[in-house]
Structure 1
Amino acid sequence: MEFPADVPVLTDGVVTLRAPRADDAAGLVAQCNDPESVRWTSVPLSYGEQQALERLTKGVPAAWQTETAFIFAVEYDGRFAGSVELRPEGGNTAELAYGLDGWARGAGVAQRAVALLLEWGFTSRGFAVVQWRAHVGNWGSRRVAWATGFQFGATIPNLLVQRGVRKDAWTGWLGRDDAREPQTPWFDVPVLESSAVRLREWREDELPRMSEARTNDATKHFLPFIRQPFDAGAARWLLGHVRLQAAQGLRFNWCVADPATDVALGNVTLFRLSEAAPPAEGTFVGEGELGYWGHPEGAGRGLMSAAIRRIAEWYFTSAQAGGFGGRRLVIATAATNKAARRVAESAGFELAGTERAAFPLGDGTIDDKVVYDRIK
C-alpha cells in the first residue's frame, strides 16, 4: 500500500484515525514517555524526538508499504492523542495494539479508536479474527478490550518480552461476526460509607495489612484453604485475583477501613453471583454470598457488622437507584465459629438452616455449616 495515499481517514465524529505525520513527533514523544506507556509497553526508555521522527517518517511508512502493520494516529479534540494498529499474523488474523497519552485517557477515546480500527480491519482488510495480548495487570488495556467485545482466554506465563524480561500475558480474541460489546459484566467496586465504616478497594501499599489479617489461628482453623502464614506473595496474588474476578463480573471485594483514618481493618467479599444478568440489562435477579475476615486491630468495635449492614443496604437497592438490585443475601460459616455468627446476627441476618457435616476445619474434622440470610 502507498503511504499516505492509501491510508483511509476513519472517524465517528469524536475520534479520528488518520495517517501519522512528522508533526505528530512531539505528541508521540509525550505518549511514549507517559508513565503508563513506560510501565506496560516495550518503547525505549527516555524516548526522544529523533526516535519519534525516525518512526513517523521511516518506520510507519515502511510498515504500511510492506503491510506488516497498519498504524494509525489517533486524533481527539484536534490533537494527536496516541496510536492504534493491526499487525497481520497470517491466516486472516491480526494482533491489536493501542496506546494513548495520559491527557486523553478516561474519555472513552481508546474504545472509540479501537472500534473504528476493528471495523476497518474486518471489512476492508478481511481479517477473520483479531487477537489481543497485554501484560498481566494492565487494567486499562483490558478494559478497552472488554468494552469492544473481546472474549478472554488463558493467562500465558512468559509470553511477552519487555526490555529483555519475560512477562506473563492476558490473551483475548474477537471474531469478525462477534458482537462489539461487552460479553460479561465488569464490576466496578463502589465506595460505601457510614458513620462507622468506610468500604473501598484495597491498595497495593496495604499488602502487609492483608498478610497480617489472614495469618492467625482462627483463619487456619476455620478457613483451612488459606495458606499459613499468609505472606506478601500470597497477598499480592489475592489482590490481583479479586481484581480479575471483578473484571469478569464474578465478585466484589471491599477493604473495610476506619472512617476517620482510612486504615485497613478487614475485608468483605460478595461472591456466588452466578445469576447476574447480561451487562446490557444492568440488573441482577439472583442471590449472593458474603465472606469476611478482620485485622486484629479492628476486633471488638462492631466494624464488621457495620460493614455488612452497609453492603446489604447497597445490595438490596435497585440498580436504577445506584445499588445492585439483589434479592437474597447469604452468609455461611462453621457452626462453632462464634465470632462469625455474632457478626451475621448483629448485621440483621437470620438463621436459615444447618447443613450437617458440611464444613471442613483445619484440624481435619468436619463441622456443621450454618446458613444465615436476608431477603430484600
Structure 2
Amino acid sequence: MEPVTLTTERLYLRALEPADTDAVLAACQDPEIPRWTSVPSPYTREHAADFVQRLSPLGWQDDTMYNFGVFTRASGTLVSSMALVRLGQLAAPVRQAELGFWTVKEQRGRGYTVEAARAVCRWAFEDLGVERLEWYAEAGNEGSRAVALRLGFVMEGVQRAKVAQRGTRRDAWVGALLPTDLGLPAQAPYLPYDPGHPAD
C-alpha cells in the first residue's frame, strides 16, 4: 500500500522520513520505551536509521506494518510512532489487525496518543475493512492500558507468557475494539456468546 496521511485537530500522521531519524533516536533513549516494547536497548542511531529508512517503508510496501510518525500540527514535533501490525490477518474471513504505539516522554499526558490512535482505528475500520482491532501490552504497562481504555478497547483478560522480553516470557493484558464500539457500522454480523442461546 502507498503510505497515507491522517490528520486530527492537533496532529498529523504520516510515514516516517529519513529526516525523522534523529527525533526517533532521541525519543527511544527514554528507558520506559524499551522497558515495555520490543525497541532495542541501548538504542543506537543505526537502530533508528533502520527503523525509519528500511523497516517502516518496507512495512507499507509489503503490507506487513502500516507505521505512522505522529507529529504536532503546530510545530511538527514528533509525538509518537503508531502502527497497525499483524496485517496478514486483514484478508477475509479474519479481517483483524493489532494496534501498537510508543509515545515520546515529553509528549505524554496531553491526550495526543489517544487522539492519534482514534484516527488510526477509524481509518482501519472505515478504509481497510478491519472487523476487529486488538491491543496488548505487558501486564503492568498502565500507560498503554489507559490509552486503550480511553479508546474504547474492552479488556479481555491476561494471556500468560505472551510477551517474550529480554530472555524472559511475561504475561500480557489483552483488549479488543470493534467498529460498533466507535459508533461505526459492523462490517459483519456479530453473534456474542449467549449461554442460553448458543450460536449455530
Structure possessing the higher radius of gyration over alpha carbons: 1
For 1:19 and 1:57, locate their aligned partners in 2 and report how far apart those are by CA, in whole Å. 10
Aligned partner of 1:106 among 106, 109, 121:
109
Supply the AA of the counterpart residue of 2:84.
Answer: L
Aligned to 1:21: 17
Secondary structure (helix, strand or coil) at the match of 1:27 reads helix
Aligned to 1:50: 46
For 1:89 and 1:9, locate their aligned partners in 2 and report how far apart those are by CA, in whole Å. 22
For 1:53 and 1:38, locate their aligned partners in 2 and report how far apart those are by CA, in whole Å. 17
For 1:30 and 1:81, locate their aligned partners in 2 and report how far apart those are by CA, in whole Å. 12
**TM-score, normalised on structure 1?**
0.46
Unmatched 5+ stretches in structure 1: 181-376
Supply the AA of the counterpart residue of 1:170.
Answer: W
Secondary structure (helix, strand or coil) at the match of 1:110 reads helix
Report the Cα offset of residue 36 of structure 1.
1.4
Report the Cα offset of residue 89 of structure 1.
4.4
Is 2:167 the partner of 1:175?
no
For 2:172 and 2:88, locate their aligned partners in 1 and report how far apart those are by CA, in whole Å. 18
Supply the AA of the counterpart residue of 2:61.
Answer: Q
For 1:120 and 1:79, locate their aligned partners in 2 and report how far apart those are by CA, in whole Å. 22
Aligned to 1:61: 57
* Greater RCO structure (CA 8 Å; 6+ sep): 2
Is 2:30 the partner of 1:34?
yes
Aligned to 1:145: 148
For 1:8 and 1:69, locate their aligned partners in 2 and report how far apart those are by CA, in whole Å. 13
Supply the AA of the counterpart residue of 1:83.
Answer: S
Alignment of 1:121-136 (within 5 A): 121-136=124-139
Report the Cα offset of residue 46 of structure 1.
1.4
For 1:97 and 1:38, locate their aligned partners in 2 and report how far apart those are by CA, in whole Å. 14
Secondary structure (helix, strand or coil) at the match of 1:65 reads helix
Q: 1:104/1:12 Cα in 2 relative to 1: closer, same or farther (>3 Å)?
A: same
Secondary structure (helix, strand or coil) at the match of 1:61 reads helix
Output the aligned Cα RMSD.
1.2
Task: Determine if contact 2:67/2:81 at 8 Å carries over to the other structure.
Answer: yes
Report the Cα offset of residue 177 of structure 1.
1.9
Task: Determine if contact 1:27/1:81 at 8 Å carries over to the other structure.
Answer: no
Task: Determine if contact 2:14/2:69 at 8 Å carries over to the other structure.
Answer: yes
For 1:92 and 1:163, locate their aligned partners in 2 and report how far apart those are by CA, in whole Å. 31
Aligned to 1:166: 169
Aligned partner of 1:155 among 158, 165, 171:
158
Supply the AA of the counterpart residue of 1:95.
Answer: E
Percent pairwise identity: 34
Aligned to 2:78: 80
Instruction: Give a deviation string over 1:266-299, Cα, whole Å, max 9, x none.
Output: xxxxxxxxxxxxxxxxxxxxxxxxxxxxxxxxxx
Task: Determine if contact 1:74/1:81 at 8 Å carries over to the other structure.
Answer: yes
For 2:135 and 2:116, locate their aligned partners in 1 and report how far apart those are by CA, in whole Å. 15
Supply the AA of the counterpart residue of 2:25.
Answer: V
What is the number of equivalent residue pairs in this alignment? 176
Alignment of 1:281-320 (within 5 A): none
Task: Determine if contact 2:15/2:57 at 8 Å carries over to the other structure.
Answer: no
For 1:173 and 1:153, locate their aligned partners in 2 and report how far apart those are by CA, in whole Å. 7
Report the Cα offset of residue 100 of structure 1.
0.8
Task: Determine if contact 1:131/1:172 at 8 Å carries over to the other structure.
Answer: yes
For 1:12 and 1:82, locate their aligned partners in 2 and report how far apart those are by CA, in whole Å. 14
For 1:103 and 1:72, locate their aligned partners in 2 and report how far apart those are by CA, in whole Å. 18
